Amino acid sequence: MFTYRLELTNSCFGSFFPHLGRGLPLRHEGSTKPSKPFDFFGSECVDLALVVAAFVLAEIDQAWDRPGQDPPYLMVHYEPSSKQGAVTMSEFPISFTLEFPYTRTPGPVIGRFLTGLRDGRILGIRSGDRILCPPMEFDPDTCETLALDFVDVGPSGTVENWTWIAEPTSKHPIQEPFAFALVKLDGADTVMTHAVKASGPEAISTGMRVTAQFREERVGAVTDVYFVPEADAEKQSIEPGEGEVEITTHTISLPYTDTLYPHSARFAQGLLDGKFIGQRTRDGTVSFPGKGYDALARVVLTEADDVELPPVGTVLSYTTIAPIQYKGQTETEPYLTAIIILDGAGQTLTPQDIRNIPTDEFRVGMRLRAVFKPAAERDIDNVDNDWMYPSIGNVVDHWESSGEPDCPLDELPESV
């Protein structure tokens, strides 16, 4: 039997990255023997207690998480019970941030609108007998291109619809509870979606009057302005900026947290244990690391397909790196970097640095053995679910000659 502990966490947390842990609001303990570790929802013979626990958590976690907190998610830690041998399955959390700085030309209409906001004005555009705000380049009904006929609207207007955001996301323009509202500015015929700062949901209602407040620092973006109840508005004197807003930047930054997939976790655990674990595919070759499936045969692979490869391989190629000196460069002496394929593997490792074998003794076909670092010094920080090349983390201290004769050049193993 495994003992398991189910935790609802609000952050990445794991035995190898304890510094990432940030509190455990909920915990359920019990025991079960999952037929397939990790995949507790998909597993066919899961202990009822686990299903109940998962269900309880799913209930708690039913809604799209309101912001300001990491999405809570389920993590399962499998620990061997005292009666069982040393079977350890741990989850390896990973986290990363995806960032793209978007730089856009707003064009002649939105550009004028954003320029207006920077200068403390709100501009609408004439479309037939209507004034559109925010302005558009075309008539939304006929799609006719509109003349650049701008009209000042606001700065006050009427709330036509609103929703109270009890917990703002980090992407919202106001970092305390606020309302998103559809505001029809005085002089405009259409409504604008924007943020209203108010003391609470009781302080906002449909039909109420609001007034624009411009931020002190304005960059020519829709976020240069927000709204407050008319009575709370402060009189502002805005100094116009120079020139037209011709570029708008919007940097998106999205955080992600995940855990290593089961096969990746077994691979990572193998590295920490000083072993190279790959997966045998249906054509007999060993994928190292495994992908959890065989892409050619299109079948899902399991732990039963795991194969331990020997820490011995053959040099397929190498090059000498002569370090160019620049600020921050830590290398001073030339060194080798080699493409090595482990015996039995279907693809090569990421280039491995070689510093202990003289350049003039190094050659293609040479047989090398990996010497692992002491267990306490091995780390898998650079292992994730998306290898472009098979990374082996920072677990190998160096490569040494295996003492075997070289592999003849015409017998070098094939690789991807």
Site for other proteins in 165-224 (CB under 8 A): 165-173, 180, 182, 190-195, 201, 206, 221-223
Burial class (CB in 10 A: 0-12, 13-18, 19+), 369: middle
143 forms part of the interface with other proteins (CB under 8 A): no
* Residue placing its CB nearer to other proteins in the complex, 49 or 312: 49
Q: How far is CA 219 from the centre of its chain?
A: 28
Q: Which residue has the tokens 């249906």?
A: 282
* Residue placing its CB nearer to other proteins in the complex, 183 or 380: 183
Only segment of 59-67, 79-87, 208-216, 271-279 that touches other proteins (CB under 8 A): 59-67
Least Å from the CB of residue 389 to other proteins:
15
Which of 164, 335, 362, 387 is the binder for other proteins (CB under 8 A)?
164
How many residues does the structure list for the chain?
A: 416
* Residue placing its CB nearer to other proteins in the complex, 110 or 395: 110
Give the Cα separation of 24 and 14 in Å (integer).
12
Site for other proteins in 72-101 (CB under 8 A): 73-74, 96, 98
Which of 11, 20, 70, 365 is the binder for other proteins (CB under 8 A)?
70
Structure-token pair, residue 211: 């007034």
Is the CB of residue 112 less than 8 Å from the CB of residue 275? no
Give the Cα separation of 397 and 400 in Å (integer).
10
Only segment of 15-23, 290-298, 356-364, 400-408 that touches other proteins (CB under 8 A): 290-298
* Residue placing its CB nearer to other proteins in the complex, 226 or 399: 226
Which of 52, 87, 231, 299 is the binder for other proteins (CB under 8 A)?
299
Sign of CA dihedral 23, 26, 31, 34: negative
65 forms part of the interface with other proteins (CB under 8 A): yes
* Residue placing its CB nearer to other proteins in the complex, 241 or 310: 241
Site for other proteins in 370-409 (CB under 8 A): 385-386
Structure-token pair, residue 126: 């004439």
Query: Any idea what DSSP says for residue 355?
Result: -
Site string for other proteins, 230-269 (x = CB under 8 A): ------------------x-x-x-xxxxxx-xxx------
Query: Which helix (DSSP H) or strand (DSSP E) does residue 312 occupy?
Result: strand 312-321
CA dist list (Å): 184 to 57, 162, 191: 42, 12, 4
Which of 25, 128, 140, 323 is the binder for other proteins (CB under 8 A)?
140
Cα diameter, the chain: 88
* Residue placing its CB nearer to other proteins in the complex, 143 or 147: 143
Please count the residues of this chain forming the interface with other proteins, following the rule CB under 8 A. 79
Least Å from the CB of residue 167 to other proteins:
7
Which of 57, 271, 370, 396 is the binder for other proteins (CB under 8 A)?
57
Site for other proteins in 37-56 (CB under 8 A): 38-42, 54
Rg of the chain over all Cα atoms, to the nearest angstrom: 30
CA dist list (Å): 380 to 122, 195, 289, 350: 53, 44, 13, 14
392-406 in b/e form (b: 16+ CB < 10 A) is: bbebbebbeebeeee
Least Å from the CB of residue 118 to other proteins:
14
* Residue placing its CB nearer to other proteins in the complex, 177 or 365: 177
Amino acid (one-letter) located at 401: S
Which of 45, 48, 63, 376 is the binder for other proteins (CB under 8 A)?
63
* Residue placing its CB nearer to other proteins in the complex, 164 or 335: 164
295 forms part of the interface with other proteins (CB under 8 A): yes
CA dist list (Å): 69 to 8, 66, 255, 275: 13, 7, 11, 37
Is the CB of residue 249 less than 8 Å from the CB of residue 101? yes
Q: Tell me the helix, strand and coil percentages in the chain, rounded to 5.
A: 15, 35, 50
* Residue placing its CB nearer to other proteins in the complex, 182 or 309: 182
Q: Please, which residues bridge with residue 251 across strands?
A: 101
134 forms part of the interface with other proteins (CB under 8 A): yes
Which of 81, 142, 145, 163 is the binder for other proteins (CB under 8 A)?
163
5 forms part of the interface with other proteins (CB under 8 A): no
Give the Cα separation of 402 and 368 in Å (integer).
5
Least Å from the CB of residue 95 to other proteins:
9
